[in-house]
Amino acid sequence: MRRVAALILLGVFLGCQQQPEIDASSDETLKVSFAKMMEGLSKEEVTRLNEALKEVMSASMNDLSSSEARDPEARTERARKSLHGKTASDVLAEAERIKTERTVGSGG
């Protein structure tokens, strides 16, 4: 419950500002947009956002075909597409949705 409340507060904080979006059109633009997104965040907020980014990217790999799963470029492209155009609030919300689906799907 505490984590949900913290995520909501972070989302409200981030939602009150013009948020940069992730530009995943290339490795370089991805790095630059991540850096912009992290500016002004506390260490705790950066940690939460990094965890959410990992969650979203990981979930994007779940439905790869076996040939895609063996192809590093296909995996990278899938991860980029899962993040492209999202704001920090979008990423946090998507990660929370994924976790909720996983919990509901596992009966817990």
Task: Report the residue count for the chain.
Answer: 108
pLDDT in tens, 55-96: 999 898 887 788 877 888 888 888 899 999 999 999 999 999
The model's confidence at residue 25, banded by pLDDT at 50, 70 and 90, is very high
Euclidean distance between CA atoms 8 and 89, whole angstroms = 9
Residue with tokens 């979930």: 59
pTM: 0.75
Residue 7's identity, in one-letter code, is L
Assigned domain for 40 exists: no
The 8 Å CB, 24+ separation contacts for 9-17 are 10/45, 10/48, 10/92, 11/89, 11/92, 11/93, 13/45, 14/87, 14/88, 14/89, 14/92, 15/89
Residue 41 lies in a domain: no
- Counted domains in the chain: 1
CA distance 19 to 37: 7
